[in-house]
Amino acid sequence: MSKISLSSAIREGLHEEMLRDENVICIGEDIGVMNGTFAVTKGFLDEFGAKRVWDAPISESGFTGIAVGAAMRGIRPVVELMYNDFISVCLDPVMNQAAKIRYMTGGQVSVPMVIRAPFGAGRRNAGQHSQCLEAIFAHIPGLKVVCPCTPKDAKGLIKAAVRDNDPVIFLEHKLLYAKKDEVPDEEYIIPLGKGEIKKEGKDVTIITWSRQVNFSLEAAAKLKEEGIDVEVLDLRTLVPLDFDMIKESVSKTHNVVIVEEDVKRLGFGAEISAQIMEDLFDELDSPVLRVAGANVVSPFSPSLEDAVFPQVDDIVAGVKKALNK
């Protein structure tokens, strides 16, 4: 085992896949000479050359469209968007082409591409660089959506995403890049659609993903001091969703709190809540409760930004409310 950061874990996973398959290429702004905004592709240009590491111009629609076409011809592009917010300028090649081509050709053509995108708040980047847009991607049939929390998960999932024959949106929280944890030295892959129980408990289930997993674990530690035993589920992959894991946990604890950084209105937590209410209603002792971001544009002010997005104490309060404590 080696203790490395999440950004280094993604880099290792990509590096291994590029060594394994010459059809894997990287495309994005400043990913070559400048090593990428968060240094994930550091050294790639020198090792693999300009034919496999493309420094793209500031034209997300252009280079994302190129990646879709390349994927249709057997290449496996890994596109890096500088921020997930910039998907707004290239939704057509992602939403109307990549997501639908396999279905519309009756399986004759697949689009094996990955779009890596830093996302999330906490860096005081204000409204246009702090959004969590996973619900938009999850809403589009044909896309798979991944949101890792730990370095180990990030490496195993990026390798699975590169090998997948469908387009995968790989969302990386900016404030997790520097977080270090142990990662196996030997090769491994974490299959898409498989969540993980990060902490077992018996009183209430917290369902969450990405950075909020860490916050939820901190909240669980605080609640344990008050005699509340919390189970924390890390979805890891939103599409496909590991509903079997959710069902097993809810059937044990009978209380659910969903925690997400995205704005509450029409967030992915609303979808999970609806599925639980439809399929597991008889297992619930209390209504499903959501702890999520406020329905506002992300502020630049540090104090306001912290007030807008869920913090540890917000999760603690949400759990107590769900349990009528």
Of 12, 17, 29, 60, which one is the catalytic site residue? 60
Would you give the DSSP letter of residue 283? Answer: G
What's the helix, strand, coil split of the chain in %, to 5? 40, 20, 40
**Distance (Å, whole) CA 204 – CA 250:** 8
CB 239 within 8 A of CB 145: yes
Contact partners, residue 228, CB within 8 Å, separation at least 6: 203, 204, 319, 320, 323, 325
CB 319 within 8 A of CB 253: no
Residue of 290, 286, 201 whose CA lies nearest to 252: 201
Active site residue 226: no
- H/E stretch holding 69: helix 60-72
Contact partners, residue 206, CB within 8 Å, separation at least 6: 216, 219, 220, 230, 231, 232, 233, 257, 258, 259, 315, 319
Residue of 116, 105, 47 whose CA lies nearest to 81: 116
**Distance (Å, whole) CA 296 – CA 250:** 31
CB 37 within 8 A of CB 30: yes
String of b and e for 6-43 (b: at least 16 CB within 10 Å)?
Answer: bbbbbbbbbbbbbeeeebbbbbbbebbeebbbbebbbe
Of 15, 29, 80, 129, which one is the catalytic site residue? 129
Active site residue 254: no
Measured at the CA of 193, the angle between CA 98 and CA 189, to 5 degrees, comes to: 95
Residues labelled as active-site residues: 60, 129
